[in-house]
Amino acid sequence: MRQIFEYCWRYHLIHCSVQVQKSNGDVLIYSYYPFSERSCSDMSPRLINRYNGSALLEPEIFPRKLRNLFGCRLRCALWNVPPFVEVHESESTGASVSGGYEGRLLLALAERMNFSIAVRQLKAKSVRDEALELLRRHEADLTLGGIRQTVDRSLLATSTHNYHQSREVFGILDSSFELSSLDILFYPYRLQIWLAIVGVLALTDYEHLDEKESNLVRFVLDYSLRREEMVPVVLASKLSSEMSVRVQLQLLFVQSPEQAIAACSALEIKGMYLIVWLTSQPEASIQRSTMSLIFGHFLHRLYNLNVLLLLAHMERSTLRAYGFLPYTSGSCASTDPVEMRLQEWRLREMFPFRLGNLHGCPLSVIVWPIAPYMKLRWERRRVKDQIDGLDGVLLRIMATRMNFTIQLMPNEPVGLIGGSSYLNGTMTGAYRMLQDRRANLTLGCAACTPERQIYLTSTWPYTQMPYVIVLKVRSSYSNYEIMLFPFERYTWLLLGGLAIVHRCLRRWGRMPAPAVAGWLLLGFVVRVSYEGSVFNFLHNSPAKPMPHTFEQMVAAGFVFITDHATYRMTLKLPAFKGLVKVTPGQPVDVFDALLKEPPLTGAFTSTAFLATHLTHHKEHRHRFIILAEKILDNMLCMYFPRNSYFSGKINHLLFNMRSFGLFQHHSQRLAWANMPLTTDGKGPSRKVHQSSAVDVRAGFAESMGFIVAALNCLCGALAVGICVFALELLSRRPHWRRLALIMERF
């Protein structure tokens, strides 16, 4: 076993185990721990697990062996490259790591994993290439120092995951580097620090408040500013647009609901709000109605559930925390304040998730029929039975997981698939309805487009939809085309011209013997070429050539058909301008229309629509072929009204379903295995089970067909010969003198 482990260690196989079975049936599992207190390359076998005939005694078969390296030395190929790695040299200790971003990272790893660093300093011009060469020759264990990950370097050495992203910029000299007083004030910190990733917004105009209220505000601000946090705090009475995208938590001090509503409406950011209401209102009912008014504004106008209100009563010197639960068993849009227990909260504990259970509340969903994504059966009673398809099943899963009732809404106008959207905000169909906040969401083969994401809120892309061009399979060569296939038209014209010249020369005079021999040799070569070409054609069975690219289709004079919904995609492709014709019906109906079109016609569609058509029309699977060049890829999203709070929860559900392979599982209902080949001969491999008798019959029929075609040509030639003989016979009669003159000339 020691020799086995030495072999594994030589090739860096750390998870290497040996199973030994004893005579009593027990199975012993041995492995090795290369790093130990005694040695840094310990190959002695160690018993790590045992199988007693029914179960393993230890849960781990491959235990972790690199948690503690016991101070072993790792050879590191390094060089001085600030700010990534700083290497310090001294006569006593030699080269050592003294700092730098990656240098401190290496020191932290050495402390965590308990290993020592043996620096092998590089000073060549191409230090990165030299370091990778040392790794390839196993003269170093690791290297780092501003090394970009490339394909060539990945072939030489094994890399970690990407842990840092650097930006390459151009640097130019400033015309003037004189600092004004304002520059000096803000100079110690960079712009990225002032524009905080996470900040707190507070109203600084609090001098007009009462003494108690002003002291409370100062206490909160002092408590926040004196704490040494990793993220700075930003104070402003009005949030700028550049800073708003970096702020997550906003602290507002208000004295009335009007101030809270005005402050929140002026902020074009959907974040977390902590509102401190400074009040002296003694009536509890008025307090609750006021808080309900604030919560209602957040729920119905801002579409934001992340709000926590601190009620600071100045007369009673009390502080209470309130939130609201919009979806409960008794209400589907509740804005009643719910008191929360004051404690040392974390950020997520202050704003818990409120959409895990919607308690059967209805959500309006705009749908339209588009197979295979959404199939509607309005005649059924249960709403869940009315929807089917890939997106329909997805909607049912979300309704079950979030416990909401599906309320279907037909698209407007009825029969419209999706809708149009433009960069100026003009929208039609379902997207216009979402823009007017008439529904909660829509789905059903909805493409992810920039203009929709500007004015609506969308999920992350949850599936990919490739668009291709589908063509009709060109008919095979007929038997008579096979007879004429070896030569092009100009070849046949050349041979015919030579035959006429030969006939004329024989009529006007006898040809010399060398010319006759050359003519016979030419005829022999032509005959051999013809027979060889026909044999090669029958042996290889070539098909009629098909275009491989879109440019070849345009050059060949192809035109394209598509449905109304897919036609919107062609508007973004200038190459389709003037070549596309819209056919009525659903996207899956375009294939029936393609079969009725002329040969030089292609259908611009998606592979999902083609798979759906082939699922219901199996007899058409050999009548289509896909262009080898894929036109474009499109992503599908779900859409909500602007700033909808449902997007985050549904994004989480979509991510989980995609991670567990539910999308791929549901898509198996389509005939993906029966997809046609592409024009370059590639495609899904299909096992065709045919008996030998069928192959023999097919080959016999093909051979007999060609023989029949040759016999027909021979009969045609004999018929021409008989006609010539009959004309010559008629020319012998006295009444057919003109015919006799014509026959004498030929």
Q: What is the DSSP letter of 696?
A: H
Residue 483: per-residue pLDDT: 65
Residue 684: per-residue pLDDT: 61
Shortest CA distance to 147 belongs to which of 133, 131, 134?
131
3-state secondary structure of 560: strand
What burial letters (b/e) apply to 280-305, b meaning 16+ CB within 10 Å?
A: eeeeeeebeebbbebbbbbbeebbbb
Going from N- to C-terminal start, the domains of the chain cover 1-51, 71-156, 243-350, 360-458, 479-540, 693-744
3-state secondary structure of 81: strand
Tokens at residue 401, please? 């997981």
Q: What is the dihedral of CA 130, 136, 140, 143, to 10 degrees?
A: 60
Residue 393: per-residue pLDDT: 92
* Burial of residue 248 (number of CB atoms within 10 Å: 0-12, 13-18, 19+): middle
Residue 228: per-residue pLDDT: 45
Phi-psi region of 201 (alpha: psi -120 to 50; beta: other; left: phi over 0): beta
Q: Which residue positions in the chain have pLDDT lower than 50?
A: 175-177, 179, 181-182, 184-206, 225-231, 685-696
Q: Is the dihedral of CA 347, 349, 354, 357 positive or negative?
A: positive
The residue assigned the tokens 């038997």 is: 479
Per cent of the chain over pLDDT 90 is 25
Looking at domain 71-156, which CATH architecture does it have? Answer: 3-Layer(aba) Sandwich (3.40)
Residue 671: per-residue pLDDT: 75
| Angle formed by the axes of helices 646-659 and 390-402, nearest 10° | 110
The residue type at 316: R
For residue range 341-364, list pLDDT tens digits in order: 887 777 777 888 889 899 999 999
Asked if residues 65 and 34 have their Cβ atoms less than 8 Å apart, the reply is yes
Determine the topology of domain 360-458 in CATH: D-Maltodextrin-Binding Protein; domain 2 (3.40.190)
Same fold, 243-350 and 360-458: no
Determine the topology of domain 243-350 in CATH: Rossmann fold (3.40.50)
Residue 679: per-residue pLDDT: 81
If one counts every other C-beta atom within 10 angstroms of the C-beta of residue 718, the result is 10
